[in-house]
Chains A and B, each alone.
Chain A
Amino acid sequence: MKKLFSILVIAATLSLILVLNSRLGQVPPLGKFLDPFHGFWQNNTESISLDDHSTGLAGLSADVQVLFDKQGIPHIFAQNMEDLVMAQGFVHGCDRLWQMEFQTHIAAGRLSEIIGSKGLEIDRYLRRFGLKYGAERSLRLMERDPELLGILNAYTKGVNAFINQLEYADYPVEYKLLDYKPEPWNNLKTALVVKLMTFDLTGKDTDIELTNAFNLFGSDLFTELYPEGKDNIDPIIPPGTPWPEPEIDLDTPAYTIPGMPINKGFEENPNADNGSNNWAIAGSKSKTGSPILCNDPHLSLNLPSLWYQVQLSCPGYNVRGVSLPGAMGIVLGFNDSIAWGMTNAQRDVKDWYKMEFTDDKKSAYHFGDSIIQTKQSVEEIKVRGAATFFDTITYTHHGPVIFERDHQGDTSRVDMAMKWIGHDATQEIKGLLLLNQAKNYGDYKEAIEYISAPSQNLVFASVSGDIAIWQFGTLPVKWPGQGRFLLDGSNPQHAWHGYIPTDHAPQIKNPVRGFVSSANQYPTDSLYPYYYNGNFINYRNQQINSVLSNSDQFGIEDMMELQTDNYNLRTAETLPFILALLQKEKLTDEYGGYLNDLQQWDYQYSATLTEPAIFEAIYDTLITLVYDEVLKADQPVTMPDEWMLPYLLKNNPGHIIFDMAGTDETETAQDIVTLAFLRGIDRIRKWQAENKQPLTWANYHNVTLSHLTRTIEPFSIDQIQTNGSRESVNAVQSGHGPSWRLVASLENPIKAWGLYPGGQSGNPGSIYYSNLLDYWAEGKYYELLFFHSADEDHEGIIARLKLSPK
């Protein structure tokens, strides 16, 4: 009996070890995780020691010096390009390893390996979408260039040098929480980082949603509500700029929009608001007489921060700006001679084709008079804690089949293949590295040739005094209307027929008006000889251009003020009509105060004001009431462009769209605006009752930097007190906004200011995780130190790291 008890005690102890060494549901393995010697307690330290020190790095050919400034930003000085890139890989690894790996796992459709079956539908979707397929093709192309191959390999070596020295105690805390291990980095992951950016910026389209809108509203109403182009556009290239004769002229085929509602299946579109501002003013418009360049890309605001600041220097190469963790070089920034910035082109570079397969197995399909065989691949998706999932992907010559007729057993769907520029073999990295060392306009132009996707508006300014903007990238030639709706995959005329030559892409150098700018609007006036469509924005551009036209004496602080300008032109163009249409006699006393506030407001979206919250609650309600048909549809339908509702309120308050479905009366804009006002205020009052904080814009829209997992809430930061709105130049939204702000003065030597929301370190236990956030929220800037030698003795340098060959 005693023996049995002894055995039980020993067995219980062994079981306890096993239990505390295993992950139970969402709970990390507690023994491992809580261990003060190896567990999360060890993540209370900095990811890179910011004391002077040195370490060996296998593969280096000579010593590399890394200077860290007060913001924890590394300035890397190497003797040659490969050493430089290897050191960049090393510091990226030190500060951002978990983020780099997590993001490339997502891109490769491997999320389920980390989070289990919750990730399966995302993995299936992204594998079909083909980020990995595109990355593999790009990598094969890049690796044929021996110089580029050397650079890719050097970066991978740098990241792996960091990974190889890690023990469990050193793992970024997310590995410990989710209980898994880092794997070796490779060149494919670097290629995936670029494709993920392409996906974020071109992955959104509305082909299916517009097709459904056409069928919902019928031809006449659709044409009215969803017109192409706009009368008062303020395009990127000033109207009247002469255009070349098109090299490719396509015959427009007879085309009928498919007359059936379509369901998609997977729901995983990138944020529709991804956009940005950039501009450059000529020396003639600045106080210093030198050009000034500004850029702020608007993207999802996450932690760890999307960008990583770094200065990269070796003989013939000295550049500073932001890099993407996982890829070498600088994406946005400046060097000794030039500065550049990007905004998204918003062009539709992704089209959908309804396929007619010959059999249920999708082994072949009709194309013109012929039958073409498909290629199929079986994707093996490993799922943590569950059986491996096998998904067959069918490839047509258009591209992979994403949505299938019988997806999830529902046979009402359509087989749809996707044509997307992200599948092309491209070498953006080579283009970026060329841009990083560009000295002048000619070099900039040469670099552009290699950057295919995502298509961007690349603004340029040089110390020598040039300013320019170019909408570059792979842009398909299309017949009018091609790719706005679902296309016919069996009709050869519906396929893509070549690309717009780079020289014919919208561009301008040193325009008469003394500035270039872009904010995701239409690139050209209607005289541009090539057809294009896309998701173009309408308000920020007008505000930027109006400010830039107003003075010839801009200082740096004026540029910062414009970048953080909170005036909302859409609201300014809408609120007066809402107030005019409002049936004030229907408002009881408790609504009167809110009305008073709105009447006196100057359309500034400041953090501490109540008016933006009141207006947005009303306007959100108004949209759902006016476009109730869209929201009630059984299929995904896109809303009309953002300017359509203000336009109708102003010009056509009796429009049938204001009549609500399912009521006996025929409502007009007056009725709907009044209803929206009452319901919007009720929303605000409900918010006030539920929240203990005062009603302010910042409290109401709650700007949040979410941790990439979206589930570990203490690693996110919410309730950030900051100004701005979606339509303001300072386009701060709840989880989205200026992910990097740069103001560069092209004096000699160049001076620059900038920051991003977050910090250099990916470690939530580091002060450098979010040390730049306060200044960002306040609209302040840090001067971007730019050194010319590792020996420089500057008060801003707080630590030096020496990396030596091993």
Chain B
Amino acid sequence: MKLIIQIGAIALITYLLMQVFPWWTIVIVPFLVSLAANEKGGRSFLAGFTGIFLLWFVHTWVISMQSGSLMTQKIAALFGLPNTFLLMIITALIGGLCGGLGAWSGFHARALFAGK
């Protein structure tokens, strides 16, 4: 339950802040959330990864629903990918990795401050 709340908090806060701040918000927010939540290392990574993965994936999905995805198709071709779905997955994975590492760093920062 706590994990789901964390994932939700990361996704929601990141979504709001990304209206203003650049892409690296997806590292900072999970870092801070994980710093605040007293969570184990592995679970913090999972929360950060999942929160950002979902946020980015859903957003690319919304864009592909709303547009003709002409640009997405061309960028997929440029990257040598067979379809746009794979580009959505890769985008979400890179986002997820950043989110996960951010959250995991938050856990370790907390450990450092706590002097453990």
Is B a genuine binding partner of A?
Answer: yes
Chain A contacts to B: CB under 8 angstroms: 2-3, 5-7, 9-10, 12-13, 16-17, 20-21, 30-32, 34-45, 168, 173, 712-715, 763-767, 769
Contact A44 B101 (CB under 8 A): no
Contact B59 A3 (CB under 8 A): no
Which residue from chain A places its CB closest to the CB of B30 in the assembled complex? Answer: A13
Could you name 18 residue pairs across A and B whose Cβ atoms are closer than 8 Å?
Answer: A2-B111, A3-B112, A6-B108, A6-B112, A13-B27, A16-B98, A37-B23, A40-B72, A41-B72, A43-B71, A44-B69, A44-B72, A173-B75, A714-B78, A715-B74, A764-B74, A765-B70, A766-B70
Task: Give which listed residue, A12, A763, A765, contacts B101 with CB less than 8 A.
Answer: A12
Most buried by B among A36, A38, A42, A45: A36
Q: A16-B97, A17-B24, A34-B95 are in contact. Are A44 and B108 (CB under 8 A)?
A: no
Chain B contacts to A: CB under 8 angstroms: 18-19, 22-24, 26-27, 31, 56, 59-60, 63-64, 66-75, 77-78, 90-91, 94-95, 97-98, 101-102, 104-105, 108-109, 111-112, 116
Which residue from chain A places its CB closest to the CB of B72 in the assembled complex? Answer: A44
**How far apart are the CA atoms of A337 and B25 in the complex, in Å?**
58
CB neighbours of B27 from chain A (8 A): 13, 16-17
Contact A31 B24 (CB under 8 A): yes
**How far apart are the CA atoms of A777 and B106 in the complex, in Å?**
58
Which residue from chain B places its CB closest to the CB of A44 in the assembled complex? Answer: B67
Question: What 11 new A-B contacts, CB under 8 Å, besides A2-B116, A21-B24?
Answer: A10-B105, A12-B101, A16-B97, A16-B98, A16-B101, A20-B98, A31-B23, A34-B91, A37-B18, A44-B68, A713-B78
Q: A16-B97, A44-B63 are in contact. Are A38 and B91 (CB under 8 A)?
A: no
Contact B108 A10 (CB under 8 A): yes
CB neighbours of A765 from chain B (8 A): 67, 70-72, 74
CB neighbours of A20 from chain B (8 A): 23, 94, 98
CB neighbours of B77 from chain A (8 A): 713-714
CB neighbours of A31 from chain B (8 A): 23-24, 94, 98
Contact A764 B94 (CB under 8 A): no
Task: Give which listed residue, A30, A34, A41, A767, contacts B68 with CB less than 8 A.
Answer: A767
**How far apart are the CA atoms of A13 and B32 in the complex, in Å?**
14
**How far apart are the CA atoms of A712 and B79 in the complex, in Å?**
10
Q: A2-B116, A6-B112, A32-B23 are in contact. Are A13 and B74 (CB under 8 A)?
A: no
**How far apart are the CA atoms of A179 and B24 in the complex, in Å?**
16
Minimum Cβ distance to chain A for residue B94 (Å): 6
Minimum Cβ distance to chain A for residue B28 (Å): 9
Contact B78 A712 (CB under 8 A): yes
Contact A10 B97 (CB under 8 A): no
Which residue from chain A places its CB closest to the CB of B62 in the assembled complex? Answer: A36
CB neighbours of B31 from chain A (8 A): 13
Which residue from chain B places its CB closest to the CB of A32 in the assembled complex? Answer: B23
CB neighbours of B68 from chain A (8 A): 44, 767
Task: Give which listed residue, A10, A38, A39, contacts B109 with CB less than 8 A.
Answer: A10
Contact A17 B98 (CB under 8 A): yes
CB neighbours of B108 from chain A (8 A): 5-7, 9-10
Task: Give which listed residue, B60, B70, B75, B78, contacts A767 with CB less than 8 A.
Answer: B70
CB neighbours of A34 from chain B (8 A): 90-91, 94-95
Task: Give which listed residue, B22, B60, B72, B90, contacts A38 with CB less than 8 A.
Answer: B22
**How far apart are the CA atoms of A696 and B90 in the complex, in Å?**
40
Which residue from chain B places its CB closest to the CB of A37 in the assembled complex? Answer: B18
Minimum Cβ distance to chain B for residue A716 (Å): 10
Contact A714 B102 (CB under 8 A): no
**How far apart are the CA atoms of A712 and B74 in the complex, in Å?**
9
Q: A31-B98, A713-B78 are in contact. Are A41 and B60 (CB under 8 A)?
A: yes
**How far apart are the CA atoms of A55 and B108 in the complex, in Å?**
48
**How far apart are the CA atoms of A7 and B112 in the complex, in Å?**
8
CB neighbours of B60 from chain A (8 A): 36, 41
